[in-house]
Amino acid sequence: MKRKDKIAVSAIAVFAVGVLVYLIAPGVLGSKRQTTNDAFVAADFTLVAPRVAGFIKEVLVEDNQRVKAGQLLALIDDRDFRAAAQAADADTLVAQAQLKNATATLERQSSVIAQAQATVAADRAEMAFAEHELNRYNHLAGVGAGTVQNAQQAKTRIDQATARLANATAVLAAERKQVEILTAQRDAAEGGLKRAQAALELASFQLSYTRIVAPVDGMVGERAVRIGAYVTPGSKILAVVPLADAYVVANFQETQLSHMHAGQAVQVRVDSLDGELLNGHLESLAPATGVTFASVKPDNATGNFTKVVQRIPVKIVLEPGQAHAERLRVGMSVEASVDTQPVAKNREVAQQ
C-alpha cells in the first residue's frame, strides 16, 4: 500500500474512532445532558389592586423600586371611609347603651315581681280579715246583738278584698310574664350590638384598605397608579415581582424527558449576562404539554395528521447565593442544560 493511501486510511480510522467515542462517551462516562434554548426566567409576581374605590391621594413608590412586604405603596383618600367608621362607632355605643338598659330593666323585674307578690299577700290577709268580720257580724246579728247593717258592710268589705286580691294576682302574673318580654328585648339588644360591632369592624376594614401595601418582597413593575387617579376594586395599579424567588421555565421536547427527573443538576446560561452560567436543579415537570392548556387546541382526529414533537414545561429552581442571580429579570431568555445522570450521583457531585 502506498504511503498516501496509508495516511488516508489512518485518517479515516481516527475520524471513525472519534465519532464512535463521541457517540458512546456520554453513556460510558455517565454524562448525558439534555439542552434547550426554549427557556425563560419566570417569577410568581403579584398584581396589586385596591379593595375599595376612591381617588389616589399619595403614591409612595417609583418605577422599578425595591420594596418590602407590608411597605406602603399608595394611599386612597380616606375621608369618606373615616366618617363611615365614626358613624359605625357611634352606632355601636348606642347599641351598647340599649343593651345595658334592657339588662337593667330585666334585672329590675325581679323587684317588681317581689312587690307584686307582697301586694297579693297583703290582699289575702285583708280578705281573711274581712271573712272573719263577716262571720262575727253574722253571728251577732243571729243572736240579736248586732245590726244587719254591720253584717252588710262586712259583706261589702269582703267583696272589695276579693276584687283587690284578684287584681293583685293578675298583676303578679303579668309581671312574671313580663320577664319573657324583657328577656327577648335583651336578646334583641345583644343582636343589635353584635350587628353594630360587625358594621364597625367592616368600616374599619374598609378604612384600612385605603392603605395599599406590598404583599411580598420584590421590585415594583408596571406602575400605573398616579396621584388623583380614580381606582376601583380589582383594577391593576402595579405589580410586585419577587426577583429573589425567580426560577426558570424550560420547554423540553417530549423525547428529551426519558431520563429526566426531579432533583437533577441544571446549568442555566443567561443570554443577557454574556453567557454567564448559573446552577440550579430540576424541581418538577409539568403535568401536561403546553398545547393542552391552550385556548384553541388542535384536533388531531380531523383531516390529515402530521406527528409533531410536543414540548413539556419543566421548572428549574436556581441555587441560592449566586452572584449573578440578582441581575435576573422575568422574561429573560436562557439556555437550560439538564444533567440526566441518576439523582444520587447528581447529589454527590453537588456536595463535592
Could you give the residue range(s) of every CATH 2.40.50.100 domain in the chain? 46-78+211-240
Which range has the top average pLDDT, 116-130, 254-268, 294-308?
Answer: 254-268
Four-way CATH pick for 46-78+211-240: 3.60.20.10, 2.40.50.100, 2.60.40.10, 1.10.1380.10: 2.40.50.100
CATH topology classification for 32-44+243-295+307-351 = Elongation Factor Tu (Ef-tu); domain 3 (2.40.30)
Portion of the chain with pLDDT greater than 70, in percent:
82
Give me the pLDDT at residue 221, please.
93
Give me the pLDDT at residue 134, please.
66
Mention every residue, 6+ apart, whose C-beta is less than 8 A from residue 205: none
Give me the pLDDT at residue 304, please.
78
Q: Which CATH superfamily is domain 79-208 in?
A: Helix Hairpins (1.10.287.620)
User: Higher-confidence residue: 297 or 39?
Assistant: 39
CB count in 10 Å sphere of residue 268: 25
Could you give the residue range(s) of every CATH 2.40.30.170 domain in the chain? 32-44+243-295+307-351
Cα dist. 127→99, 117, 123, 157, 324 in Å?
42, 15, 6, 8, 106
Q: Any idea which of 11-25, 217-231, 263-277, 288-302 has the lowest mean pLDDT?
A: 11-25
Average model confidence (pLDDT) for the chain? 84
Mean local confidence (pLDDT), 167-178:
82
Give dist(CA 21, CA 28) in Å, integer. Answer: 9
Could you give the residue range(s) of every CATH 1.10.287.620 domain in the chain? 79-208
Give me the pLDDT at residue 298, please.
75
Mean local confidence (pLDDT), 118-140:
74
Give me the pLDDT at residue 170, please.
85
Give me the pLDDT at residue 137, please.
63
